[in-house]
Amino acid sequence: MATLEKHLQKQGLLPSTQEKYVSIMESSQGKDPVEWLSNKVSGKTPLGTVLPLRAAVKHYLLAQGYSEDDINALLPKAKGRPAGMRDALTPDQLVAYYEAAETCSDPIRTILLLLPRTGLRISEMCNLRFEEDTKKGGVRGLLFRGKRDVQRFVPLNKPGAKALDDYYKRIGGKAKDGWLFLGNKDTPITPAAVRKVTRMLRAEHPVLGATLSPHVLRHTFLSHALKRGADLRTLQALAGHKSINTTARYLHPDEEMLQGAVDRLE
């Protein structure tokens, strides 16, 4: 896997993404990657499961010297069952969520407080560095490299900035550099550790719903921004989506927004 690891590093992918692709290829246990993937691809398999498998095999073949054209000809098309629509937290659920998050210990406590206030992917949040809490054009926010190693700036609102400042006080101040949220052995906390806590919270607080996860919190941020009048292009920039079509698929109006649209027709 050394060749694959070197290739992934050159691609500038997030460490968590690199680890995931290496783990996927290790799980193939040395089988022919194209045949292994073909056996995994099914119309009944969630598309969210199929896509990372296909991406891992694609990078593996690229590392072996295959061309993009050869790979596209070899690999099966990505097909699968679309993921079910997961609702954003309602305002009342969000209040209950913040109360529950405050009972957690750092750094997960601060991460949970920031996720629905920034819309960051969980991998992006876990890999933030101290120096990425900065100002741009006089606006405080998070300036970091997200998916596809694309630089993105997400402004902090007042509650988000307070959550970070309170965190700095609890840990003895803001460092000049280094990982913002440490896990074990001077490495950033893992997304799996945060997901474990969200599963615990939804079990302990049924009011939060049965699907609470870092992804639902990202969805909550974007849905609430949409509800408060943010246009699709702004949401695309905040979410870090390459295509505006992804942003459009990602969001759906809730019942209150639909009712408001109907009422305005009267």
Q: What is the pLDDT of residues 135-192, one digit of tens each?
A: 999 999 999 988 777 899 999 999 999 999 999 999 999 999 999 999 987 899 999 9
Q: Are residues 60 and 122 in the same domain?
A: no
Predicted structure pTM score: 0.70
Catalytic-labelled residue, pool 7, 54, 121, 224? 121
Active-site annotation holds for 147: yes
Catalytic-labelled residue, pool 195, 215, 227, 252? 215
Catalytic-labelled residue, pool 174, 195, 250, 252? 250
Structural domain includes residue 152: yes
Active-site annotation holds for 202: no
Structural domain includes residue 83: no
Q: Which of 37-46, 60-69, 204-213, 249-258 has the lowest mean pLDDT?
A: 249-258
Catalytic-labelled residue, pool 54, 218, 219, 224? 218
Q: How far, in Å, CA of 23 to CA of 36, rounded?
A: 14
* Domain range for 153: 91-263
**Rounded to the nearest 5°, which phi and psi values hold at 95?**
-60, -45
Number of domains within the chain: 2
Active-site annotation holds for 252: no
Q: What is the pLDDT of residues 31-75, one digit of tens each?
A: 898 888 888 776 666 666 777 888 888 999 999 899 888 888 888
Active-site annotation holds for 59: no
Q: What is the pLDDT of residues 85-97, one digit of tens each?
A: 557 899 999 999 9
Ramachandran bin of 157, using left for φ above 0, alpha for ψ from -120 to 50, beta for the remaining angles? beta
Q: How far, in Å, CA of 206 to CA of 41, rounded?
A: 34
Structural domain includes residue 82: no
Angle at 163 between CA 157 and CA 168, to 5 degrees: 125
Q: Are residues 69 and 139 in the same domain?
A: no
